[in-house]
Structure 1
Amino acid sequence: MLQRLPVGIQTFEKLRQDNYLYVDKTEAIHKLLCSNAGYFFLSRPRRFGKSLLLSTIKAIYQGNRALFDGLWIADQWDWNKVHPVIHLSINKLDYQGSGLDVALQQALHASATQYQIELHSLTLKTLFSELLEKLAKQHGKVVLLIDEYDKPLIDYLDDIPLAKANQQVMKTFYSVLKDSDPYLEFLLITGVSKFSRVSIFSDLNNLADLTLHRRFATLTGYTQQELEHYFAPYMPELEQYCQLSRAELLEKIRYWYNGYTWDLQTSLYNPFSVLNLFANGDFRNFWFESGTPTFLPKLMHRDKVYRLDKFKVDELTLGNYDLETLQLIPVMFQTGYLTLQSKDKRGMYWLDYPNREVRNAMLIFLMAEWAHVEPAYTTPMVVQLSDAFDDNDMPALIEVIKTMFKKIPYQIFIKDREAYYHSLIYLTFFYLGQYAEAEVNENNGRVDCVVKTATHIYILEFKLDKTAQVAMEQIKSRDYAGAFRDDPRPKVLVGINFSSKLKSVDDWVMEAG
């Protein structure tokens, strides 16, 4: 009988006791626990296995040997090496209702009660110090695990004053660790984002950042080898349903869910998406649907960014996450919507979408943001566009393009018409590439596109506040069709002019190429 798939289960003990599938990460964890540095920080996207990682480390330090039967670490660890563990999952605290200071104090009292320790301090800082000292003296040096440290900041990115207030509480809280070295055995703090060290961890000079550390790149996420080994028993059913061979299925899974990397050597799968794929038996945007921050498309709209492929940044920029000057690229990288693609000889990183799931879902949300519609409306609109091309129905195609701009308030559109025009045309035809063979280019104020169907090749040129004939003349004068001269399919040249005054297509022409 197949083991159950642990969709949404983040507790190692439950996972092992109830016979859920566990992808053995204990060799990598052992390497971390035995490294020279003892204080660590790890940033990974949501749903990427951070909570399960901390839960596993907790079970190791509690000496719960039975849970690790059959795993790599079972005969590699000294199970007599037991330490008290403080495991704080910030997401579970009532900081929204009680306030962060009070919520943290309640969590510290709960940890103290677990070890029959009485605390008498009245402030967060002194309470934390008292707990660490008493716990270490009574039970041995403390293992401190803090999950989702940044949740009280991310939840309030649309309320900066409150986010900054939480930031100050966090800085006070973590400042305790500076003088707690005699009481600490191991420290791991995880989160989605790496906010400026100065803003929160300024006193922790010995906090090692594992985010881009090549030795620990596979602590979370699934490697190709892990996917093929652990999920092999679940693949026959999916092969049959999708009518694919094993090799074809693996390639499709890779295309949809692989692509994350933090060392530019190992490409990783999103665990949440892979587990949901086999649990549901179908390919969908599982990770994106589980909680896309609404502020991201708005941030992109603010910065007039609608192309996220092929960004080039340095390592300092990747870690530049500041509340008051929130920058798009580090936010997109740290939250998992962009990943490393390559690194040049000057140390500059190229970023891109990790996979189909993230790319398509982000296009949907971006189109919705620019078009002022709900995300659910965007995919049907693009499918209609694809159908119009398949049917060689140009009037229908023009109507779809008109629909894209219909919901945008005129007062908003007219103030930023260039950005709206370029973004929506580009995003729509780029997304069309998932349903038809489409290439869209946007350079020097012009937009052109090539769409290939089974029967025709369409070459389109878009203009803003000019004429369709000007667009057609450009197609001809620059011989855009020449690149496809050897293709036997008929060429269709389409010139389209968009009127900012009408907020719609006002003129279009079509000729045989």
Structure 2
Amino acid sequence: MKKNLPIGISSFVEIRSEPYYYVDKTQFVEKLVSEGKYYFLSRPRRFGKSLFVDTLKQAFLGRKELFQGLYLEKNWDWSVRYPVIHIDFGGGDVSSAEELKKWILIQLKRCQRTLQIECEYLDDYRSCFEELILKSYEKYKQKVVVLVDEYDKPILDCIEDRETAKAVRDVLKNFYSVLKPLDAYLKFVFLTGVSKFSKVSLFSGLNQLNDISLDKRFAEICGYTQEELEEVFREELEDKDLELIKCWYNGYSWLGEPVYNPFDVLLYLKKKTFHPYWFETGTPSFLIKLLLEKRFYLPELENLVATDSLIGSFDVDRVRPENLLFQAGYLTIKRMFRLADKILYELSYPNKEVKLALNEVLAEYFTGDTGEVSLKTRDFLLALEENNFEKMKKALESLYAGIPHDWFRRNELFRYEGYYASCFYAFLCGSGLEVIPEDITNKGQIDLTVLYRERVYLFEFKVVDGEEADAKALVQLKEKGYHKKYEGKCKEIYLIGIEISSGERNIKGFFWEKLN
């Protein structure tokens, strides 16, 4: 749909210099307000959370003129206007609890100016917040709406410093605790964020908060469905490959219909080229360090099974990689199922953008690379194109040679077979190759399988302590008969056994054999 609208309504963008394009999500505004009072929504960054918060704000302010032609125009009581306190933590960077207190006071002073209210407690953020709610109620003779956007950003800003993060968390906990005792003065409370911290640690004073992050009824509250994409952007999509767009940018699921990342779609339509636009807006440095610290086996990212607790809330001193990967948008729900009395979730990459970009960064970090992974990728792809195994070996030797020796002094990574397989897996995925990790056969599972131009390459890894390589990895591949899965499906089948020296921390043996 096209319409000349002021900024601040639902999910829209000006792609060209003429009309605005928007996707009407206002039905969710009416649904939320009619069914409850306290809500929390977790979604990845740049997924439209702030835009939805602003839509809520404009509705409660009674700005009917902004909603012409939208669902809410005829499904909202425009005769009532409410005082709105809007706190946005997305615009500031916090490095200490004291900085956070100052930032909260800045936000509250801005709200005072907007509401034309003067508070006496100008140096106490908690008392000021409480006073602002009460005075707003008294002045406007209506219950107060509280909207908090990016509630968790102050914690995430300093998550690598656990003690500072705890101190920041305690300030926020004290701040949000103001709300529960003032229930009689509140009309509606809505908080958004990327991560979901434990209610015990952050919202102990707000236990009535309804988390709709995995509520199927609100699964499409942010993001574009396939129908919305094709209807709203019909003209821009006339000469585009819809399946390829879907492969790159769709796939995010919160137990409902998969949706597109709006940020990616809008930039793709503007620039007309596929690129990891969303991924490049943030560097997951803490997450990558956590994956290494926990010795996470990267091929598991293709098909990770998690419980409610693993993808649910967490705390500063109890962070799991699975949790951050899901909440930050690097993994998404592919299906939900039950085993006994447990609800389990199968997680994987949402789309091609995330798989390519994340693994490229992982390959660089896990190998201590200084920006040369792209060159090694080029060398490996050329070797694969030529089917030149000596060049493949040299490219991998160069990859492993970059691993910092200091990492091995601090832990036992040099004895960890999965580490070398993880490095190779990230390298291959970041190259854009079709990779199958832990490829299951009726005889067992292959460490890594690569499909390329009607050829299949089966890889097996071994860490060896001795001076000489003995081709045991290749022998295992042959004895297990893993290749039979691909007989008749690929023109050429190759077995490759890679043996890593625990002493030299690089390839000791690289053995290969063609089977057909």
Equivalent position amino acid for 1:133 in 2: L
* SS of structure 2 residue aligned to 1:345: strand
- Superposition pairs for residues 57-456 of structure 1, below 5 Å? 57-93=56-92, 95-96=94-95, 99-121=99-121, 122-139=123-140, 140-237=142-239, 239=240, 249-263=241-255, 265-305=256-296, 306=298, 307-346=300-339, 347-374=343-370, 376-413=371-408, 415-417=412-414, 418=416, 419-431=418-430, 434-435=432-433, 437-441=434-438, 448-454=447-453, 456=455
Decide whether aligned partners of structure 1 residues 478 and 172 sit closer, same or farther in structure 2, where only a CA change above 3 A counts: closer
Partner of 1:243 in structure 2? none
Partner of 1:52 in structure 2? 51
By percentage of residues, which structure has more strand? 2
Please report the RMSD computed on the Cα atoms of aligned residues, expressed in angstroms: 2.9
Equivalent position amino acid for 2:133 in 1: L
CA–CA separation in structure 2 for the residues paired with 1:86 and 1:431: 44
Partner of 1:499 in structure 2? 501
Do the aligned residues in 1 keep the contact of 2:144 with 2:185 (CA within 8 Å)?
A: yes
Decide whether aligned partners of structure 1 residues 96 and 426 sit closer, same or farther in structure 2, where only a CA change above 3 A counts: closer
Shift of 1:275: 1.0
Do the aligned residues in 2 keep the contact of 1:441 with 1:448 (CA within 8 Å)?
A: yes
CA–CA separation in structure 2 for the residues paired with 1:387 and 1:338: 30
Shift of 1:512: 3.7
Structure 2 residues without counterparts, runs of 5 or longer:
none
* SS of structure 1 residue aligned to 2:231: helix
Do the aligned residues in 1 keep the contact of 2:95 with 2:158 (CA within 8 Å)?
A: no
Do the aligned residues in 2 keep the contact of 1:94 with 1:103 (CA within 8 Å)?
A: no
* SS of structure 2 residue aligned to 1:337: coil
Decide whether aligned partners of structure 1 residues 411 and 219 sit closer, same or farther in structure 2, where only a CA change above 3 A counts: closer
Partner of 2:473 in structure 1? 471
Structure 1 residues without counterparts, runs of 5 or longer:
240-248
Decide whether aligned partners of structure 1 residues 405 and 59 sit closer, same or farther in structure 2, where only a CA change above 3 A counts: same
Decide whether aligned partners of structure 1 residues 407 and 65 sit closer, same or farther in structure 2, where only a CA change above 3 A counts: same
Decide whether aligned partners of structure 1 residues 477 and 84 sit closer, same or farther in structure 2, where only a CA change above 3 A counts: same
* SS of structure 2 residue aligned to 1:78: coil
CA–CA separation in structure 2 for the residues paired with 1:51 and 1:297: 26
Q: Deviations over 1:40-66 (max 9, x none)?
A: 111111111000001111111111111
Decide whether aligned partners of structure 1 residues 62 and 488 sit closer, same or farther in structure 2, where only a CA change above 3 A counts: closer
Identity %: 35
CA–CA separation in structure 1 for the residues paired with 2:366 and 2:512: 28
TM-score normalised by length of structure 2: 0.88
Decide whether aligned partners of structure 1 residues 273 and 11 sit closer, same or farther in structure 2, where only a CA change above 3 A counts: same
> Which deviates the most, 181-190 or 501-510?
501-510
Number of residue pairs the alignment of both structures matches: 496
By percentage of residues, which structure has more helix? 1
Equivalent position amino acid for 1:218 in 2: E
Decide whether aligned partners of structure 1 residues 107 and 455 sit closer, same or farther in structure 2, where only a CA change above 3 A counts: closer
Equivalent position amino acid for 2:504 in 1: L
CA–CA separation in structure 2 for the residues paired with 1:188 and 1:497: 55
* SS of structure 2 residue aligned to 1:234: coil
CA–CA separation in structure 1 for the residues paired with 2:284 and 2:498: 35
Q: Deviations over 1:215-244 (max 9, x none)?
A: 11111111111111111111135x2xxxxx
